[in-house]
Structure 1
């Protein structure tokens, strides 16, 4: 197995979205079903993007589509946990960006799961990639946590968090 980055603490994220788990989020083993994690991360991501003027599909302007995502699980969560999902931008390119999100049980300092979504900006009519408008890149930049402010946990020495 490849190197697995340990869980991050709250300081690794720029902002938090608060969500409540639901009874039907639990699977037969009594913890949140793995696909539900993606739904919860997607909800938090969309809350952060809407706050910055994204996801207006009726404007005719560029839209962002997911081209890659992934999730790493550290500790179980289950209903009725209250969640705080940290959001940050890892990188912004010419036509794409990557968000990372950490899922925390409310009040805990270490994430229980982490997800990433890579988004590409496309023309809403042709669905062809295009440069992300400067105003959108500037809005995304508000979610960047400068490396100097990101925590380095003892077992992360030598690894880029």
Structure 2
């Protein structure tokens, strides 16, 4: 779980910038709660892609085992967001990430969260060790 110590931009190692879209807003004029999770998922997918994971071909792939989001401030279209991630723990078969959402130009997070991945064999769905190239990339980002 992410605590109040992980609210600043400088706490995160990797960033992915994405604009909000008109249809991301709910009837109250701010991002629908589901969109926060979609954006955090996009962040993790991009981070792992940049680390070398081939989502469509690799024999060992990550499955989301847990996710959480803490909403701190409303975000809405047309905000452009910087999504930050930091690897908190790399286990034998799992990884825990801390994530945060920042409006561009702001240092305080609008939302924070965490994500847990368990690595599994694509065919058998059984837990497997985190692939070494991915593990090495993540350990650099702890």
The bucket for the TM-score relative to the shorter chain is over 0.9
List alignment gaps of at least 5 residues for structure 1. Answer: 145-161
Q: Is the 2:48–2:134 contact (alpha carbons within 8 Å) kept by the matching residues of 1?
A: no
Deviations 1:130-159 (A, max 9, x none): 111222210111221xxxxxxxxxxxxxxx
Three-state SS of the structure 2 residue aligned to 1:28 is: coil
Deviations 1:110-146 (A, max 9, x none): 10001211000101110000111222210111221xx
TM-score, normalised on structure 2? 0.94
Aligned to 1:15: 14
List alignment gaps of at least 5 residues for structure 2. Answer: none
Aligned to 1:105: 103
| Structure that is richer in strand per residue | 2
RMSD of equivalent CA atoms: 1.6
How many correspondences in the alignment? 141
Measure, in 2, the Cα distance between the counterparts of 1:66 and 1:122: 10
Q: How many angstroms does 1:77 deviate by?
A: 0.3
Cα 1:70–1:49, aligned 2, differ >3 Å: closer, same or farther?
same
> Would you identify which runs of 4 or more consecutive aligned residues in structure 1 move more than 4 Å?
none
Matches within 5 A, 1:12-161: 12-59=11-58, 61-144=59-142
- The structure having more radius of gyration, on CA atoms, is 1
Aligned to 1:149: none
Q: How many angstroms does 1:55 deviate by?
A: 3.8
